[in-house]
Amino acid sequence: MSEKKPYSKPTIVRHSVGVLNKFGRPPATIPLKRIDGFNVDELVDQYGSPLFVLSVQTLRDQYKNLNRAFKTRYPNFQIAYSYKTNYLKSVCSILHQEGAWAEVVSGFEYDIARDLENPGNQIVFNGPYKTRDELIRAFKDGAMINIDNFDEMQLMEDIAEEMGKSLEVGIRINMDLNDPPWHKFGFNVESGQAFAAVKRAEADSKLKVVGLHMHAGTYIDDVSIYSRAAQGMVNFYTAIKEQLNVTLKYWDMGGGYASHNTLHTAYLPAEQTCPTYDQYAESICPFLLSGPFQAADAPLLLIEPGRSLVDEPFSLVTSVVAQKRLPSGQRGIVLDAGMNLMSSVQWYRYNFQLAQDAGQMLEDTVVYGGLCMNIDVLQQSTSIPPVRRGDILVIPQVGAYNISQSWQFIYLRPSIVAIENGKIHVIKKAEEREYVQQFEHVPDEFKA
């Protein structure tokens, strides 16, 4: 006798046939089967799922395009790559090959930059917390160190006294540019604190201010913020030059340039709203060039891009491990990658593209990560075609912050491969349990 099938509540679900959507974007029914010439399913066969894949050519192109946009508008320009965005050694090294300097915000990152053979004078050292030993080392190396707060200034004055010489420093400033303003870092201009900081640094011969630094925020897609920041820099420089006789060697406009990922709060997709590198450069360079100097003596202009360089070159390849029908009637799918590898899902509405042919019927779907946690939702609602367990999805443009902020939580972190010139390189092997637990110790007293 055949067994009776379990009852499941009937639901009516809207399907739409995948033609161009209202934004003119290609529908999710067009599969993304290959990355830089390699079949995605073969990459998974060889390196497992999930898997981060870096397109090296895309990374190099991003750097070249950004560099060109600023170099053609300002006579003395240099990119210092923001390590925190993705400090895989291969990523930093490729960018150094292209000519980038390093921007670091901790001793850990500083060590990576030195290991990659950056001379000290090509490292920008930022951040609110730098230890005494780290500062001493960085000063000896000739790094560009930007002071964040008065306590740090005091520490540097002590170090200068100890070293018996005057130390060149930069001052991080902040301005009321965005809402809410970024006041956590540096000294505020409008309140007079930034001027007071330069005045104090210059008051005796221990410190000498040669740099100004600001980083007004991240994913700034309104270029007028940069124009106001650049104008504010010029005004501030003019004031400290005239009143305190400061001459800058460099000024640093920080990072913040948006990548082509769409924010949850955005109506239009990012590829239609995100400024180009030329627009960013045009919103900064002409303002700075109106500063108190001749073009031939222009201070070095530094920028510290992160996400705009490294988001685009990386994809996350992931597999469907289950699908389910929710009580609301909505389809749910569970992937083998979750927020542990995708911290930026908090901000971005990522695209999910199937790596194999799929039907034309798009269905509203909630995409869950594989963590056994209710918050692990990668997308509350997206239209994707029918999928089955084992199907592969590609999430493009995931290179910024997701890897450096990934967590080892209940699963081991996956392999990372880089593709260039028809060759695949493993740039990080998948973690093993022994590695994760190597520093643990169970005292005899605790043994079962």
Which one among 58, 78, 85, 283 touches ligand PLP, defined by CB under 6 A? 85
Lookup: tokens for 38: 């390699």
Window 264 to 293, contacts with ligand PLP (CB under 6 A): none
Q: How many CA atoms lie within 13 A of 209 on its CB side?
A: 26
Which one of residues 305, 369, 385, 396 is an interface residue with ligand PLP (CB under 6 A)? Answer: 305
Residue 261 sits in the site that holds ligand PLP (CB under 6 A)? no
Residues 121-150: x/- map of binding to ligand PLP (CB under 6 A)? Answer: -----x------------------------
Contact 342, 52 (CB under 8 A): no
Each residue 400-419 as x (binds ligand PLP by CB under 6 A) or -, in order, gives x-------------------
Q: What is the DSSP string of 356-416?
A: S---SEEEEEEEE-SSSSTT-EEEEEEEE----TT-EEEEE---SSTTTT---SSS----E
Instruction: Closer to ligand PLP by CB, 114 or 215: give it.
Output: 215
Residue 211 backbone phi and psi in degrees, to 5: -140, 155
Interface with ligand PLP, residue 256, by CB under 6 A: yes
Q: How far is CA 87 from CA 57, 245, 259, 406, in A?
A: 18, 38, 18, 12
In whole angstroms, the minimum distance from the beta carbon of 62 to ligand PLP comes to 12
Which of 148, 304, 312, 336 is the binder for ligand PLP (CB under 6 A)?
A: 304
SS3 assignment, position 175: coil
Which part of the chain contacts ligand PLP (CB under 6 A), choosing from 1-9, 115-123, 260-268, 298-306?
298-306
218 binds ligand PLP (CB under 6 A): yes
Interacting residue with ligand PLP among 18, 107, 211, 255 (CB under 6 A)? 255
**Could you tell me the two tokens for 238?**
């003019």
> Under a CB-based contact definition with an 8 Å cutoff, are residues 209 and 202 in contact?
yes
- Count the residues of the shown chain that bind ligand PLP, applying the rule CB under 6 A: 16
Q: Does 211 bind ligand PLP (CB under 6 A)?
A: no
Q: What is the β-pairing status of strands 167-174 and 207-213?
A: parallel
Closer CB to ligand PLP, 170 or 254, in the complex: 254
Q: Which of 275, 306, 313, 370 binds ligand PLP (CB under 6 A)?
A: 306
Contact assessment for residue 279 and residue 241, using Cβ atoms and an 8 Å cutoff: no
CB of 387 to ligand PLP, least distance (A): 32
Residues in the chain: 448
Q: Which chain residues interact with ligand PLP by CB under 6 A?
A: 82, 85, 103, 126, 215, 218, 254-257, 304-308, 400
